[in-house]
């Protein structure tokens, strides 16, 4: 299933034929500007994705920052250092981290910064490479994320009925 538009922002997932009941084994990735983020073929537990996605959904609408005027590398590095380094540059930096911490994303980091009245900046890096930036219409990421969360919740709830 693909939620959103691959050429802008989308989340793709599919449940394996042998999903392991409530584990919901399957595949998962993000699409940003037509580029796949994550190792879709590796697969993961979609149940884990759902549970870990809860924090991201809770941060929807709470990713506004004055960092919007800064360069992409500067914003990415400030958030990365605050979350994974040894000094806090950005207060409450975790709300900007929009990556679900599952194995399919081991080689990727993704941050989202919103600006009031402007588009959102999605910043990502694959395998510690170059920082890429993609501009999204306001709230597009949050809307796609919430729709995916709802779909995965329904799938998980169905496993609990069996």
| Sign of torsion over alpha carbons 52, 76, 122, 66 | positive
Higher-pLDDT residue of 128, 63: 63
Mean model confidence pLDDT for the chain: 94
Which band of pLDDT confidence, cut at 50, 70 and 90, is reported for residue 88?
confident
**79-84: Cβ within 8 A, 24+ apart:** 79/111, 79/123, 80/109, 80/111
pLDDT confidence of 91, banded at 50, 70, 90?
A: confident
pLDDT of residue 87: 86
Q: Give the SS3 label for residue 16.
A: coil
List the chain domain ranges: 2-161
Q: Give the pLDDT of residue 94.
A: 94
For the cut 70, the answer to whether the pLDDT of residue 115 exceeds it is yes
| Distance separating alpha carbons of residues 119 and 141, to the nearest angstrom | 11
Both tokens of 156, joined, read 């998980």
Model confidence at 128, in pLDDT bands (50, 70, 90)?
A: confident
Please indicate whether residue 107 or residue 110 has the higher confidence score (pLDDT): 110
Tokens of residue 99, six digits: 């990556």
Over range 7-27, report the average pLDDT.
95
Cite the DSSP H helix spans in 3-139: 46-58, 72-84
Q: What is the pLDDT of residue 117?
A: 75
Over 80: is that where the pLDDT of 161 sits? Answer: no
CB 58 within 8 A of CB 67: no
Please tell me the predicted confidence (pLDDT) of residue 162: 57
Average pLDDT of span 75-98: 92
pLDDT number for residue 112: 96
């Amino acid at each position: 299933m693909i939620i959103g538009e691959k050429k802008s922002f989308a989340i793709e997932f599919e449940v394996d034929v042998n999903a392991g009941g409530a584990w919901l084994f399957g595949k998962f990735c993000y699409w940003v500007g037509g580029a796949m983020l994550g190792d879709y073929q590796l697969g993961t537990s979609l149940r884990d994705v759902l549970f870990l996605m809860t924090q991201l959904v809770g941060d929807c609408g709470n990713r506004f920052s004055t960092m919007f005027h800064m360069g992409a590398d500067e914003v990415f590095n400030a958030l990365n250092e605050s979350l994974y380094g040894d000094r806090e540059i950005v207060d409450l930096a975790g709300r900007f981290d929009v990556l679900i911490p599952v194995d399919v994303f081991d080689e990727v980091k993704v941050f989202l910064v919103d600006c009031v009245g402007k588009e959102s900046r999605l910043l990502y890096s694959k395998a510690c490479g170059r920082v890429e930036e993609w501009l999204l219409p306001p709230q597009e990421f949050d809307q796609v994320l919430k729709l995916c969360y709802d779909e995965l919740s329904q799938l998980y709830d169905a496993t609990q009925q069996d």
